[in-house]
Amino acid sequence: MQRWQIGPLAALVWAVPARAQEAHSPYAHEGSRELKTLSQAEVDELVNGEGMGLARPAELNRHPGPRHVIDLADSLGLSAEQLSAAERIFADMKGRARELGREILDAEKALDAAFAAGNVTEDALAASVKGIAELQGELRLTHLRAHLAMRQLLTEDQIRAYDRLRGYASEHEHSAGGI
């Protein structure tokens, strides 16, 4: 290598680490949070038993959600019995979702604490992540089951009205799929 080539090469080698240090992580502002594994919005949703989009496949495929059915009760022409059943479905779902939310938060806190303490082992990590995933699956199942129950409670006309009121109605009829 010629001497005139070494100068620019050396400058490039020194410049790369300097530039890498300037690239801040998108997580940089999250390091001071008490629970680093979840955003505050995610924590709030888990504490409050909110849907978090977990039931989107049901909602967008003609399986109404209980909270929205209750909100639209008059427009859907719900009978007193239907409204009472929808409120029961919603209360059961919300209660179970809050319970699971607390369990998820406890598991996330344990995972965060293990990393903070620097004593994470491969086996403990796998068990922790699998446990959290199982709880998240149960939470999603809780929300989806509520939509399934609502579908069974409403008439086809009420479901069509729900879809229209929620902006899901389309020119074509939705197909009924299954798992």
pLDDT at 130 (0 to 100): 98
Note the pLDDT tens digit of each residue in 64-86: 999 999 999 999 999 999 999 99
What letter represents residue 119's amino acid? N
Q: Rounded CA gap, 139 and 101, in Å?
A: 8
Domain that holds residue 76: 36-165
Whether residue 19 lies inside any domain: the answer is no
Whether residue 75 lies inside any domain: the answer is yes
DSSP string for residues in 19-48: HHHH---TTGGGTTSSSTTS-HHHHHHHHH
Whether residue 65 lies inside any domain: the answer is yes
Q: Give the residue with greater pLDDT, 165 vs 16.
A: 165
Report the chain's terminal Cα–Cα distance, integer Å. Answer: 65
| pLDDT at position 37 over 90 | no
Whether residue 8 lies inside any domain: the answer is no
Q: Into how many domains does the chain fold? A: 1
| pLDDT at position 172 over 50 | no
Residue 95, domain CATH: 1.20.120
Whether residue 111 lies inside any domain: the answer is yes
Whether residue 82 lies inside any domain: the answer is yes
Query: What band does 167 get if pLDDT is binned at 50, 70 and 90?
Result: very high
pLDDT at 60 (0 to 100): 95
pLDDT at 169 (0 to 100): 78
Whether residue 79 lies inside any domain: the answer is yes
